[in-house]
Structure formats: structure tokens, C-alpha cells
Amino acid sequence: MVRVFPNPVVHALHVHHNMNAPITVEVVNMSGETLLKAAVFSDYTIDTSNWPTGVYLFRHSGSEEWKRIRKE
């Protein structure tokens, strides 16, 4: 299971998973530009302090579904 919190986010987005192997996480803006693509081993923090206010999309390997993340 992969948890992404908080949502909405202000300064940092936290990713936690309990898989036995690293997963790949990806964040894109609403224009489709990839802001982040990284291998995550267990706990990972994404610095969102420089992101403009708005809606972003998050997904991880093993999932085709995008999760909406709101930046305040």
C-alpha cells in the first residue's frame, strides 16, 4: 500500500509504502510536464515549497491511476 500525505500540501508531500522493493513515483503538473520521477525505497519527502498553487497528479509504479494532489 502506498500512502501520500498531506493533501492538500503546503511545503512537503510525504510518500510511504511497505513494499519489499523500491517503487517509482511520478508527479506531473496540469500541463503534463513531469516535475519529479524518483525511486522510493520506503519513506520519501517531496519538497513542494517552490511549486505554484494548483493541482498536480501523482502516481506510482504498479498503478495506472493518477491521484490528484492540491498545493496551497
Residue 40's pLDDT is 92
The secondary structure of residue 62, as a DSSP letter, is T
Look at residue 62 and tell me whether its pLDDT is greater than 90: no
Q: Is 3 exposed, middle or buried (0-12, 13-18, 19+ CB in 10 A)?
A: exposed
Residue 66's pLDDT is 97
The stretch 37-58 carries a mean pLDDT of 95
Nearest-angstrom CA–CA distance, 37 and 58: 10
CATH assignment of the domain containing 18: 2.60.40.3080
DSSP 3-state of 68: strand
Residue 42's pLDDT is 87
Tally of domains within the chain = 1
Residues 19-42 have pLDDT tens digits of 889 999 999 999 999 999 999 988
Q: Is there a cis peptide before residue 52, judged by omega within 30 degrees of 0?
A: no
52 is in which domain, residue-wise? Answer: 2-71
Nearest-angstrom CA–CA distance, 47 and 7: 14
